[in-house]
Amino acid sequence: MNRTEPGARNARELLKAERRNRWYLFGSGLPALLLVLLTFVLPIGWLFWLSLFDANGQLTVENYTRLLEPIYVLTFVQTFKISIIVTVACVLIGYPYAYFMIKGPRWLANLAMGLLLVSLWTSLLVRTYAWLIILQRRGMANDLLMSLGLTDVPLSLVHNLTGTVVGMVHIMLPFMILPLFASMKSIDPIYNQAAAAFGASPSRAFRDVFLPLSLPGLAAGATLVFVITLGFYVTPALLGGGKVQMISMRIESDVSMYANWGAASSLGVVLLVATLLMLFIVKKSAGLGRRSE
């Protein structure tokens, strides 16, 4: 039989159709690609570009060498320290909260979710000022502590690290709980049943089965909280009372007080790189943990 006849001709046509298809797919993805380029790649590139110029528009690396001064190093250290504290606190409060929403009675779980969402939908500024009022010298928190006899004199709960952390944890909690809740919800209860059937007590089943299966959600929530906290501005600025310095506040003062866009940009670049580095390390170690299990 002649092999160039219909079979071979069809093969050529089919190849063309396949190529057309690929171009079509590329073409339909193009708008999204342009959008990403315009909204993410361009601004970050511009930020990096700006960080290479001083206040007079001269090319320089001064913006970066300046960051080695103790004041900046301290700010970086404090920013990471606060972020770690806030993340750990969110894990400690958020995990039981999400677990309760999964395992608790339906109406209480709905109530817990409702409260969480109302808090999430309330303006950040409103919640921050609310904490300012609650934590002030004659605020509700001190009233409560004194009426319980836990302290004789009002404690300074705000305009310091304590107040900053309390406010930030409250604002960050939904970002911890929501991914955690979603991940716990997807764990089939049959795994706990299986563990019990083979002899695991409820606490043992939690440790061996539920906890490891909820870790991806925990990692997602913790990462989200940590990254957002690194760049947090409003809450630490208001509740810290000038005593808590985070990088975001340095950026703000560089821009608004000194109009030094280069200095502010370099801070942004370093923060971005540090964050990416941190995420990379977390991802690596989590991956190692899973493999060695």
Partner 1 sequence: MSEDPKLSMSIDIENLTKTYDNFAALDDVSLSIKSGEFLSLLGSSGSGKTTLLMALAGFVRPDAGSIRFGGREMIFEPPHKRDVGMMFQSYALFPHMNVFQNVAYPLKLRGYSRADIRLRVEQALATVELDHLIERGITEMSGGQRQRIALARAIVFEPKILLMDEPLSALDKRLRETMQLELRRLHERLGMTVVYVTHDQREALTMSDRIAVMSKGRIRQVDTPINLYERPSNRFVAEFVGESSCLPVTLQDGQVRFQGRPLRASSATAGLKNPSLVVRPEKLQFVTADASDCNLLHGHVTDVIFQGESQLVQIDLGEGMAVAIRRPTRSSASDRLPTRGEAVVLGLHLQDTLVVGDEQ
Using CB under 8 A as the criterion, which residues of the chain lie in contact with partner 1 when the complex forms? 188, 190-191, 193-202, 204-205, 208-209, 212-213, 290, 293
- Distance, in Å, from the CA atom of 169 to the CA atom of 246, rounded to the nearest integer, reads 16
Residues contacting 181, CB < 8 A, separation 6+: 98, 101, 102, 113, 217
- Distance, in Å, from the CA atom of 145 to the CA atom of 141, rounded to the nearest integer, reads 6
**Residue 290 beta carbon to partner 1: minimum distance, rounded to whole angstroms:** 8
**Residue 217 beta carbon to partner 1: minimum distance, rounded to whole angstroms:** 13
Residues contacting 74, CB < 8 A, separation 6+: 245
**Residue 92 beta carbon to partner 1: minimum distance, rounded to whole angstroms:** 23
Nearer to partner 1 among residue 200 and residue 274 (C-beta)? 200
Nearer to partner 1 among residue 213 and residue 227 (C-beta)? 213
Q: 142 near 157, Cβ under 8 Å?
A: yes
Map residue 91 onto helix, strand or coil.
helix
- Distance, in Å, from the CA atom of 86 to the CA atom of 253, rounded to the nearest integer, reads 24
Q: 169 near 93, Cβ under 8 Å?
A: yes
**Residue 53 beta carbon to partner 1: minimum distance, rounded to whole angstroms:** 51
Nearer to partner 1 among residue 28 and residue 203 (C-beta)? 203
**Residue 215 beta carbon to partner 1: minimum distance, rounded to whole angstroms:** 8
Q: Which one, of 208, 276, 268, 285, lies nearest residue 64 by Cα? A: 268
CA dihedral sign, ordered 109, 110, 116, 119: negative
Nearer to partner 1 among residue 107 and residue 198 (C-beta)? 198
**Residue 182 beta carbon to partner 1: minimum distance, rounded to whole angstroms:** 17
Nearer to partner 1 among residue 62 and residue 208 (C-beta)? 208
β-strand partners of 53: 59
- The residue type of 134 is I
Nearer to partner 1 among residue 59 and residue 190 (C-beta)? 190
Q: 209 near 191, Cβ under 8 Å?
A: yes
**Residue 203 beta carbon to partner 1: minimum distance, rounded to whole angstroms:** 10
Q: 92 near 107, Cβ under 8 Å?
A: no
**Residue 198 beta carbon to partner 1: minimum distance, rounded to whole angstroms:** 4
Nearer to partner 1 among residue 18 and residue 188 (C-beta)? 188
Q: 163 near 128, Cβ under 8 Å?
A: no
Nearer to partner 1 among residue 138 and residue 291 (C-beta)? 291
